[in-house]
Structure 1
Amino acid sequence: MPTELGMRVTDTMKSRNIAVGPVVAHPRSQRWTFLAVPDTPLDDLLLYAEMFRASVTVAPEGAEVALPSPADTAGTYRVWNALPNTGYRPSAAVLLEIIRHCARLPRATDTRASD
């Protein structure tokens, strides 16, 4: 997600007493990656469309995520914004709701007609 949105999400999580978990910052592209527990159906195309409107990419479960490298001493490509000090990861469902709130997204609904 864009850095500005990531900062709002982080602030909102902290204000709600929700631990943020590990976050990777990408200085060159000005984006953040939150590592979360995949506890929500990520095969929902409406979810991807909804997040696209906020410039948020949702990686499918099992996707490879590039992490910061100790070799990148200048922090040019990726740096830890919040270190993975424990095995804790926030709930993806909770994280998505906070993203919706911070990006002021209406929740996507399935508008297909029922048979």
Structure 2
Amino acid sequence: MEELLRHYREVCGMQACVGIDGDGPIRVRNHELCAVTMPPRLGATVRVRMHEVPGRCGPVSAYPSGGRWMFLAQPDLPDIRPRCDLDQANAGIVDAATIPLPSPEGLRRWIVAPTDSYLPSRDQIVRAVRWCREHRLHESGGVR
């Protein structure tokens, strides 16, 4: 566990921590990052889109039993646009919580593991979700 915490802190630049007793899930406080969550099918197409525009996808974790993917991102200024299109895609923004990270004993796993401190902006991920939804790529199961 200590080796993984050191990796998150030193390589990824995330101030990861565990519970007071040194046990439990690994977490990062929200002021360092935020997340965009979505169903796996949409997540798969968003991941492909992120590799196309802006050319790189940041870390993505999965919570298989909950059926969600979580794209980690840099916090942006608040988005004042309505989020009803995200709600319709069953996607959401997490910026007022502690973000859980995969750990050896945890229920989460990496889809795209962090290899450095790169995080896309939240807006880049939201634009990719909106683009995939507009082109209905998540319904066909992939990029056309």
What is the one-letter code of the residue matched to 1:53? Q
TM superposition score normalised by structure 2: 0.61
Q: Tell me what 2:85 maps to.
A: 50
TM superposition score normalised by structure 1: 0.75
CA 1:69–1:40 in structure 2 vs 1: closer, same or farther (change >3 Å)? same
For structure 1, the 5+ residue unaligned runs are 106-115
Distance in 2 of aligned mates of 1:93 and 1:101: 12
For structure 2, the 5+ residue unaligned runs are 1-37, 136-144
What is the one-letter code of the residue matched to 1:100? R
**Alignment size in residue pairs:** 98
Distance in 1 of aligned mates of 2:120 and 2:55: 8
Q: Which has the higher helix share?
A: 2
Q: How does 1:23-102 map to 2 (within 5 A)?
A: 23-42=60-79, 44=80, 46-47=82-83, 49-60=84-95, 62-72=96-106, 77-102=107-132
Distance in 2 of aligned mates of 1:8 and 1:45: 23
Does the CA contact (< 8 Å) of 1:40 and 1:93 recur in 2? no
Distance in 1 of aligned mates of 2:43 and 2:133: 10
RMSD: 1.9
What is the one-letter code of the residue matched to 2:43? G
What is the one-letter code of the residue matched to 2:87? F
1:11 aligns with one of 48, 68, 92: 48
What is the one-letter code of the residue matched to 2:120? P
